[in-house]
Amino acid sequence: MMSDNNIVWHDTNIKKEDREALLKQKGVVLWFTGLSGSGKSTVANAVEKKLFEAGRATYLLDGDNIRHGLNKDLGFNTRDRIENIRRIAEVSKLFVDAGIITLSAFISPFIEDRNNVRGLLKDRYIEIFVDCSLNVCEGRDPKGLYKKARAREIKDFTGIDSPYEKPINPEIIVRTDIQRVDECASEIIKYLTVNGFIG
């Protein structure tokens, strides 16, 4: 195995600030966290659509999609979940450096993992808690996963036999059990505008 002492960061001529000036936006990660079925991907898709229509450069990283490629070697035990989020954080950091508004939709159940992402991205990390009661999420059950978890066909399922640790101080909270998707998306766009990430 190669020693870390032999790995040196290679500086490039074009910096993040140059890319942001070209794109007329700030690279930032919108980190959507919440239970399965809470509407993370649905809201993230709605936000991306609004941003795209406004001429913004975006990319959406979705939990299931990432597990088809980059993280297809990972399972759902605690260790693999931590590694899943670590890899996504590093990918998200690259997108931020490219000046892209990145939407990351992952259950990401553990506070420590989300704090690690925040530590990596600093002020370019916006945590969005997609709040929805377990009863409503389980009632939706779009993938039939809660039913399988209750039948013990799936182990370590968040909200059933694996914990979900709610965010303590997220930048944004949307309530998909009482708000329409469009309302949630508009609230997030407003936050980006007010805080200078988009003009």
Domain boundaries, the chain: 16-194
Q: Among 92, 108, 133, 186, which one carries the catalytic annotation?
A: 108
- Measured in residues, the chain has a length of 199
The pLDDT tens digits for 8-49 are 666 777 888 999 889 999 999 999 999 999 999 999 999 999
pLDDT band at 179 (very low <50, low <70, confident <90, very high): very high
Q: Which ranges constitute the DSSP H helices of 67-110?
A: 78-97
Q: Is 92 annotated in the active site?
A: no
Least confident of 70-74, 111-115, 122-126, 150-154: 70-74
Beta strands in the chain (DSSP E): 28-33, 58-62, 101-105, 125-131, 172-175
35 is known to lie in a ligand binding site:
yes
CATH of domain 16-194: 3.40.50.300
26 is known to lie in a ligand binding site:
no
CA distances from 157 to 20, 132, 145 (A): 39, 16, 8
